[in-house]
């Protein structure tokens, strides 16, 4: 009996989405082979229906900046067997968390927008909010490290 395919979802939070763009380049080389082992259930760049239940592997990029982000990443973590942080933003928060470096004066200037959009007091790396099972560093992420890490979980 053939092995069941792993359900994979890719999520992007606050960032420039450079890792997602880089991932599409990796998919150009690897996706056909990977599709024998995975079901790509969600990746906004390709598929816009979100189903965050019973995820085998969730890949996340970006940082957590709003209350909505915080709720979403906790739901993703709860419903994922494996959670992989893709890129520096998810692991260290930078460069997406540059707001944390603003002076009090600069923060005062944007205070209205921060309240209006329910921003958290501090921008957070994903791993500051939930546990990551694995990490792929870099900005953009390291291609070889991503392939090695991803294939470790789909094989």
Query: 62-90: per-residue pLDDT in tens?
Result: 999 999 999 999 999 999 999 999 999 99
What residues contact 137, with CB distance under 8 A and at least 6 apart? 87, 88, 91, 145
Cα-Cα-Cα-Cα dihedral of 32, 3, 153, 38, to 10°?
Answer: 30
Has this prediction a pTM greater than 0.85?
yes
Count of CB atoms situated within 10 Å of the CB of 40: 17
CA 143 to mean position of chain CA atoms? 15
Domain boundaries, the chain: 6-154
Which CATH superfamily is 6-154 part of? NADH:ubiquinone oxidoreductase-like, 20kDa subunit (3.40.50.700)
In 35-142, alpha helices (H): 67-78, 88-92, 104-109, 111-116, 126-129
Alpha-carbon span 120 to 100, nearest angstrom: 11
CA distance 146 to 106: 36
pLDDT digits (tens, 9 = 90+) for 91-142: 999 999 999 999 999 999 999 999 999 999 999 999 999 999 999 999 989 9
């Amino acid at each position: 009996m053939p092995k069941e395919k792993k359900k994979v979802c890719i999520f992007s939070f606050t960032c420039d989405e450079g890792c997602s763009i880089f991932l599409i380049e990796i998919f150009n080389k690897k996706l056909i082979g990977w599709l024998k082992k995975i079901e790509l259930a969600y990746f906004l760049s390709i598929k816009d229906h979100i189903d965050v239940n019973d995820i085998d592997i969730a890949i996340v990029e970006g940082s957590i900046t709003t209350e909505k982000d915080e709720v979403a990443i906790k739901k993703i973590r709860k419903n994922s067997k494996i959670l992989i942080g893709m890129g520096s933003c998810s692991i260290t928060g930078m460069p997406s968390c540059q707001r944390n470096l603003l002076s009090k004066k600069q923060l005062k200037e944007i205070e209205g927008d921060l309240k209006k959009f329910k921003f958290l007091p501090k921008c957070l790396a994903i791993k500051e909010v939930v546990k990551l099972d694995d990490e792929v560093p870099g900005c953009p992420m390291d291609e070889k490290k991503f392939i090695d890490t991803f294939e470790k979980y789909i094989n």
